[in-house]
Amino acid sequence: MASTTACGIRARPTGRMLINLILRALPFWIREPLVIAVSLFFAGLALYWFVMAGGWARGGIGLASVAVAALRIHLLRREWRSRQAARGSV
């Protein structure tokens, strides 16, 4: 929920605005590699933590992050190839 400041203006949460910027304002060719990089970073972090400290939840989060990154890589690759085919330079 948004809080109200002293002058009556509603303040929006900053994290939500950043996510909206990434999902709506950035073009596909910037957004997708950024999502892939963040997913792979969190996957590496979670899997490292899983190996060092244990805990199946950490391993599951790491594998889910790898799956998200793999799906995004597949979508990005498919889009790249369809754009090349549309231009005729396969």
> Tokens standing for 54?
């244990």
3 found inside a domain: no
| Average pLDDT for the chain | 82
Domain count, the chain: 1
pLDDT at 18: 73
Phi first, then psi, for residue 25 (nearest 5°) are -90, -35
Q: Cβ of 62: how many Cβ atoms within 10 Å?
A: 20
50 found inside a domain: yes
Give the predicted TM-score (pTM) of the model: 0.68
pLDDT at 84: 85
4 found inside a domain: no
Residue entry with tokens 């909206």:
20
pLDDT at 31: 84
Residue closest to 45 by CA, chosen among 72, 19, 66: 66
Give residue-wise pLDDT tens across range 38-61: 999 999 999 999 999 988 999 999
Residue entry with tokens 């060092």:
52
Confidence of residue 30 (pLDDT cuts 50, 70, 90): confident
Domain extent, residue 74, equals 16-86
